[in-house]
Amino acid sequence: MDLQNFETALRNGNMAENTIKAYLYALREFFTRHKELSKRNLLIYKTYLIETFKPKTVNLRIQAVNKYLDFINKPKMRLKSVKVQQRNYLENVISNADYIFLKKKLKKEGNPAWYFVVRFLAATGARISELIQIKVEHVAAGYFDIYTKGGKIRRIYIPKKLREETTQWLKSANRTTGYLFLNRFGERITSRGIAQQLKNYALKYELNPSVVYPHSFRHRFAKNFLEKFNDISLLADLMGHESIETTRIYLRRSSTEQQEIVDKVITW
């Protein structure tokens, strides 16, 4: 066992600190369980990992072992990683019915700010970190440009109907400038504050809290968009995805939708 020199080699390779720690942990774990580095012991260790951890963790430990085997010049002893099965459904996505129910409740009970938080998340596809940057001026312009890494620009469009509604709200509140969503102190609201308040409303209106969170409404935006306008390439641009493959998940149904179809269709 030559972990000290292995650690030095990892650091010289500019590997991230967390990765180095994970690799060293995996190797120490192996040598705690096995005194000898042999193919048989490696396979026993792999079996232990598969029976104990999730595939992602298993593969990280295997990756660490393989890196060490390359370091000591024993590549023939490398272990094969395990396959990570990709889900064929979307998980924890708010249904369109629950989205409509929630926004109607918020509007009816006089919570305009939170009504618009929900509306903006579901009607623009904005990430929560992007939502809190939107200003009153962006509503007037009809869009919000975000500068991402590499000098790229992503434009978040604010639909006409939402612009008109928001303009009326801002007019009644006598607001003409500044961040759109504020906390009770008049400061820009935080991502955490929005997430917590959405959970509170979910409990209040007896909705499933696991589907009432900021990113869930971004998923709802994507699902609704494809149902109304089936252009996945345009959706990828609107969502700010680097690859269209990331967007393809929205062609799948949610687990709830799959259950409903199975219950309805399979009667034999």
> Residue ranges of the domains in the chain?
3-77, 96-265
Q: Mind listing the pLDDT tens digit of every residue in the chain (268 residues)?
A: 678 899 999 888 878 888 899 999 999 999 999 989 999 999 999 998 988 888 888 999 999 999 999 999 999 999 998 886 666 567 788 999 999 999 999 999 999 999 999 999 999 999 998 999 999 999 999 999 988 655 678 899 999 999 999 999 999 999 999 999 999 899 999 999 999 999 999 999 999 999 999 999 999 999 999 999 999 999 999 998 888 888 888 888 777 788 888 888 888 8
In the CATH scheme, what is the homologous superfamily, with its name and number, of domain 96-265?
Intergrase catalytic core (1.10.443.10)
Please tell me if the domain spanning 3-77 has the same topology as the one spanning 96-265: no
- Write down the CATH number for the domain with range 3-77: 1.10.150.130
pTM over 0.75: no
Which residues have a Cβ under 8 Å from the Cβ of 137 and sit 6 or more positions away?
Answer: 177
Asked if 214 and 131 count as a contact pair (C-beta separation under 8 A), the reply is yes
In the numeric block, the tokens 């799948």 are attached to 252
Q: Helix crossing, 214-228 with 232-239: angle to 10°?
A: 150
